[in-house]
Amino acid sequence: MINGIEEKAFETIEGGVCAAQGFQANGLNCGLNKDKNKNDLGLVVSDVLCNAAAVYTTNKVKGAPLLVTKRHLTATGGRIRGFIANSKNANTCNADGVEKAEMMCQLAAQALGVDAIEIVPASTGVIGQVLPIEPIAAHIDELAAGLAAENHGKAANAIMTTDTVKKEVAVSFEVGGKVCKIGGMAKGSGMIHPNMATTLNFITTDAAISSEMLQKALSAVVKVTYNCLSVDGDTSTNDCVLLMANGLAGNTEITDEGEDFQSFQSALYFVMRSMTRMLAKDGEGATKLIECECAGAPDLDTAIIVAKSVIRSPLFKCAVFGEDANWGRILCAIGYAEADFDIDKVDVDIASAGGRIAVCRNGAGVDFSEDEAKVVLAEDEIRIDIDLHQGESSAMAWGCDLTYDYVKINGDYRT
Amino acid sequence: MINGIEEKAFETIEGGVCAAQGFQANGLNCGLNKDKNKNDLGLVVSDVLCNAAAVYTTNKVKGAPLLVTKRHLTATGGRIRGFIANSKNANTCNADGVEKAEMMCQLAAQALGVDAIEIVPASTGVIGQVLPIEPIAAHIDELAAGLAAENHGKAANAIMTTDTVKKEVAVSFEVGGKVCKIGGMAKGSGMIHPNMATTLNFITTDAAISSEMLQKALSAVVKVTYNCLSVDGDTSTNDCVLLMANGLAGNTEITDEGEDFQSFQSALYFVMRSMTRMLAKDGEGATKLIECECAGAPDLDTAIIVAKSVIRSPLFKCAVFGEDANWGRILCAIGYAEADFDIDKVDVDIASAGGRIAVCRNGAGVDFSEDEAKVVLAEDEIRIDIDLHQGESSAMAWGCDLTYDYVKINGDYRT
């Protein structure tokens, strides 16, 4: 159990954001991105109205699309049909941002023959450049005409920025004897240090569940998945996770925290945790995934704060890139984590498919073989296990190494 | 005035940590560093007992030398003769750390013919490797025998780690008609994100001032100098600023916050601010200094939090390295600063010796010439001017760009 969620293993299925029945998607290049082979505009729509829940960035600078999404979810009581999303331009810090975000919804609604208030917008890319609406207007009919369940990958491609791989996950699960599906897509590679939400994530399910219970599940799961992810410590202005449930699986609607809610939440946790891991592994310039588990904490918040402090440390991230077992930097980052605990009880191991080495016991270094450490650190998925030995709570955080390519990618991102 | 301190300009003088009368220093290579041309052991001593004040890292992992320094300052009521410092090994996270730090003091005291409690220790370097005491013991007599005012540079060299330049500053000032001097040396290049103190800094003065007023001046100045500095967001385990006053200038001892205290504090501010700037400019791998001033803040803390948030952002630091006027990242970092203010009133300029460009007004982008921006960003000292337009307080923060060399230096630091 973590944050009240039962951890279960699931077999993944194909279909991403269209794995659940009744969802269709499409994506294309409308010209925002000069690379014609890269989609920059995506649309995902449910055949019927959905209950929806969302979480947003805590950055004071909020992308105009977030403001419009919030407004539409409030106005409809969380009852929407779908969303339109673009990459290459964040539509943030522009005087006409809200107006453009509303226009995106209107264009999509017109092409679909639905009400604009039932569509929500999302944008990602450069901050502070005016979003040209013409390319979107010119391609909206083509985008809507191509909607199909099998085009989930085209939509996932449309939201990618510096991402090097598409991020899609889906699983099936049972609620009250009915088979339900849940799946999603995510984007994000840099400017990732979520706080209440992260980057762009869209999750769809055919389970029947009330908006209130959707929001409860989403908030609980976000806390121990996306909010435990950091690529560079920069909290984006456009972070948003949107979760839509269209109820087509036919289960009795989930309206309280009983067994059905647990089943739903476990599936949601699996999907979001899988996407969190994919986001960390595809961090800008990353060559290695870093997973850090903090166990033995007095409470969940302390476990999260300590684990996140380690995966955020630039010095430790560089050491992982250099395959250098400089564990003093792990202890340094544990030490400046803003939580209350006794540093002199802390144990640290470094592990991977290559083995496991104990580097610190009771806050002090222990002898280890540098040769064994090299074998452990040569792998591309590195695990740091911390035990505070002062409680029963644990949490995981995800990050990546800091490399030359991170600097290269971000030294000249706008052009 | 900033934090109650009058800002004055001073002409710098030579002499560093020995600019004030009655201080002698030396530094040599004792073998901790395999590079025989790099000093690794330094000693600074006053001819007479000093009043002393210090601030320390807030990291829970505290270097053993800090624990011993605290103990000695408490035991003597802040009356000490000098300090011994080594580089290459932080003497931190070792079971025998305190014992070794005490031995350093004993060795120095024996060579000087003083009481060991009157000497404080400092160490910087790799965390978690046992400090060999033999090289220090073998060279302590040579180190003490070479003490001289003109050897301040040898001591400054001894505390350098990945620093590429020595950091020494000194000025003279008047207190009650008497000419006083104050000077210091600092080290630090990576693991710099001070919190209550930073890295290793030693400041000496011949002004007569009580320990209580020394501590008051030091705490006020640290808040608006070293604590506004970040190279990589990693708060060191061995941060310490030590300020020693031997009273040899002959002024009437400063015991309250009158005019003499203001004169002293202004000189201290100038010295510490100058060293802060040097530390930022010599950040690991840095090619450019970034100075960020936040004005128009409702209070000093808000100004500091906003300015520090900008100079800490890895994305913005990469953009400065790439000479890319990606101001959206500045606004993003202002937006996630943990302070309470209205983002829609914010103005931002980017400036340097190459000119000044307005990039943001009232929280939204304004047109600017990319050609002019290139000229501004081609300089090696970049200034970001933020005006929140919601108060009278301002603060400055100092940082540097994030480059390939930062990654290179920290990918394999231990060897």
Q: Is A399:A290 a contact under the CB 8 Å cutoff?
A: yes
Q: How many CB pairs under 8 A join A and B?
A: 200
Which residues on chain A are in Cβ contact (under 8 Å) with B234?
313-315, 329, 332-333, 336
Q: Which residue of A has its CA nearest to B127?
A: A328
Q: Which residue has the tokens 């599940």?
A: A217
Inter-residue contact A189 to A231 (CB < 8 Å): yes
Q: What value does the mean pLDDT take over residues B128-144?
A: 95
Residue B180 C-beta-side C-alpha neighbours within 13 Å:
31
Q: Which of A239-253, B13-27, B132-146, B195-209 has the lowest mean pLDDT?
A: B195-209
CB contact under 8 A, B335 and A233: no
Degrees to nearest 5, angle at CA A165 with A162 and A171: 130
What span, in angstroms and rounded, lies between the C-alpha atoms of B212 and B256?
Answer: 9
CB–CB of A328 and B58 under 8 A?
no
pLDDT, mean of residues B14-34: 94
Q: What are phi and psi of A81, to 5 degrees?
A: -100, -35
pLDDT at B190: 64
Going from N- to C-terminal start, the domains of chain A cover: 16-281, 289-411
H-helix or E-strand containing B157?
helix B152-158
Both structure tokens of A345: 């009880």
Q: Do B14 and B170 form a contact (C-beta atoms < 8 A)?
A: yes
Query: What is the rounded CA–CA span in Å between residue B162 and residue B362?
Result: 41
- Using a CB-CB cut-off of 8 Å, the residues of chain B touching A324 are 411-415
Query: Tokens 């104990």 — which residue?
Result: A358
Probe site for chain B from A131, A234, A400 (most B CB atoms < 10 A): A234
CA distances A402 to A33, A84, A281, A305, Å, are 27, 33, 12, 20
At residue B125, the pLDDT reads 85
State the Cα–Cα distance between residues A128 and A141, nearest whole angstrom. Answer: 28
What integer pLDDT is reported at residue B94 of this predicted model? 85
Nearest-angstrom CA–CA distance, B285 and A372:
30
Say how far residue A210 (Cα) sits from the centre of its chain.
Answer: 22
From the list B60, B324, B336, which residue is nearest A412 (CB)? B324
The residues of B annotated with a catalytic role in the active site are: 198
**Greatest CA separation found in chain A?**
68
Given a cut of 70, whether residue B415 has pLDDT beyond it is no
Chain B CB contacts of A413 below 8 Å: 318-319, 322, 324, 326
Mean pLDDT of all residues in B131-139: 97
* pLDDT at position B247 over 60: yes
Contact of A213 with A254, CB cutoff 8 Å: yes
Residue in chain A closest to B367 (alpha carbons) equals A129
Which residue of A lies nearest to B403 if distances are taken between CA atoms? A407
Rg (CA), chain A: 21
pLDDT over threshold 50, residue B298: yes
List CB contacts (< 8 A) between B341 and chain A: 60
Give the closest of B94, B332, B410 to A318, CB-based. B410
A413 and B319 in contact by Cβ < 8 A?
yes
> Rounded distance, CA A204 to CA A25, Å?
11
Angle, helices B328-336 vs B314-321, to 10°: value is 160
The shortest C-alpha distance from B411 to chain A (Å) reads 4
Specify the CATH superfamily of domain B16-281.
L-amino peptidase D-ALA esterase/amidase (3.60.70.12)
What is B289-411's CATH superfamily?
ArgJ beta chain, C-terminal domain (3.10.20.340)
Q: Which of A329, A365, A410 sits opposite B318 (nearest CB)?
A: A410
Cα separation, B296 vs A134, in Å, equals 39
d(CA B80, CA B76): 7
> Which is it for strands B119-123 and B79-86: parallel, antiparallel or unpaired?
parallel
Range from A45-49, A391-395, B230-234, B253-257 carrying the lowest mean pLDDT: B230-234
Comparing CB atoms, the residue among B407, B413, B415 nearest residue A407 is B407
> Is the per-residue pLDDT at B105 higher than 50?
yes
How far is residue B236's CA from residue B284's CA, in Å, rounded to a whole number?
14
Q: Which of A57, A162, A198, A205 is catalytic?
A: A198
Residue with tokens 């456009």: A238
Cβ contact, residue pair A411, B312, below 8 Å: no
- Residue A302: list chain B partners with CB under 8 A: none
Nearest-angstrom CA–CA distance, B194 and B229: 7
Residues of A in contact with B236 (CB under 8 A): 332
At residue A249, what are phi and psi to the nearest 5 degrees? Answer: -70, -20
Q: Are B216 and B3 in contact (CB under 8 A)?
A: no
Residue B226 identity: Y
Query: Would you say residue B196 has pLDDT above 70?
Result: no
Between A129, A312, A410, which is nearest B315 by CB?
A410
The pLDDT of B69-94, averaged and rounded, is 92
In the 3-class helix/strand/coil scheme, how is chain A assigned residue by residue? CECCECCCCCCECCCHHHCCCCEEEEEECCCCCCCCCCCCEEEEEEEEEEEEEEEECCCCCCCHHHHHHHHHHHHHCCEEEEEEEECCECCCCCCCHHHHHHHHHHHHHHHHCCCHHHEEEEEECECCCCCCCHHHHHHHHHHHHCCEHHHHHHHHHHCCCCCCCCEEEEEEEEECCEEEEEEEEEECCCCCCCCCCCCEEEEEECCCECHHHHHHHHHHHHHHCHHHECCCCCCCCCCEEEEEECCCCCCCCECCCCHHHHHHHHHHHHHHHHHHHHHHHCCCCCCCEEEEEEEEECCHHHHHHHHHHHHHCHHHHHHHHCCCCCCHHHHHHHHCCCCCCCHHHCEEEEEECCEEEEEEECCEECCCCHHHHHHHHCCCEEEEEEECCCCCEEEEEEEECCCHHHHHHHHCCCC
Count of Cβ atoms closer than 10 Å to residue B66 Cβ: 26
Residue of B191, B318, B346 for testing the chain A interface, max A β-carbons within 10 Å: B318
pLDDT exceeds cutoff 80 at B60: no
Q: Rounded to an integer, what distance in angstroms lies between the CA atom of residue B1 and that of residue B4?
A: 6
pTM of the predicted model as reported, rounded to 2 decimal places:
0.76
pLDDT in tens, A77-95: 989 999 999 999 989 888 8
Six token digits for residue A25: 């998607």
**Look-up of token digits 């209107």:** A106
Task: Give the torsion through C-alpha atoms of A193, A194, A195, A198, to 10 deg.
Answer: 160
- Looking at residue A415, what is its pLDDT? 54
Coil, helix or strand at residue B107: helix
**Token code pair at residue B293:** 């001033």
Residue A96 has a pLDDT of: 93
* Residue of A226, A203, A242 lying closest to A276 (CA atoms): A226
Going by C-alpha positions, the residue among B262, B277, B275 that lies closest to residue B207 is B262
User: Smallest Cβ distance to A127: which of B92, B331, B406?
Assistant: B331
Beta strands in B298-354 (DSSP E): 347-352
Q: Which helix (H) or strand (E) holds B292?
A: strand B289-297
pLDDT tens-place values along chain A, 415 residues long: 777 788 888 889 999 999 999 999 999 999 999 999 999 999 999 999 998 888 887 777 778 998 999 899 999 998 999 999 999 998 988 889 999 999 999 999 999 999 999 999 999 888 888 999 999 999 999 999 999 999 999 999 999 887 888 888 888 999 888 899 998 887 776 665 655 444 677 888 999 999 899 889 988 888 878 877 777 777 777 777 788 888 899 999 999 999 999 999 999 898 888 888 888 888 888 999 999 999 999 999 999 999 999 998 888 999 999 999 989 889 888 988 889 899 889 999 999 999 999 999 998 889 999 999 999 999 999 999 999 999 999 998 999 999 998 888 888 766 5
Q: Which residues of B touch A237 (CB under 8 A)?
A: 328, 331-332, 335
A315: nearest CB among B232, B319, B412? B232
Sign of the dihedral defined by the CA atoms of residues A198, A201, A206, A208, in that order? positive
Location of structure tokens 């996630």: B336
Nearest chain A CA: its distance from B211 CA (Å): 28
- Strand ranges across the sheet with B347-352: B364-365, B355-361, B347-352, B381-387, B289-297, B393-400
Active site residue A74: no
Is pLDDT above 70 for B182?
yes
Given a cut of 70, is residue B272 above it in pLDDT? yes
Both tokens assigned to A94? 């522009």
pLDDT value at position B7? 80
Q: Which residues of A touch B287 (CB under 8 A)?
A: none
> How far A109 CA sits from the closest chain B CA (Å)?
28
The neighbouring-strand residues paired with A231 are none
Q: How far is A404 from chain B (nearest CA, A)?
A: 5
Which of B309, B336, B390 is the best mutation test for A, with the most CBs of A within 10 A? B336
pLDDT of amino acid B197? 40
- What kind and span of H or E run contains B331? helix B328-336
Nearest to B231 by CA among B167, B187, B293, B168: B187
Radius of gyration, CA atoms only, chain B? 21
ipTM of the complex: 0.73
Cβ distance A411 to B315 less than 8 Å, yes or no, reads no
CA-to-CA distance for A170 and A183, rounded, in angstroms?
Answer: 4
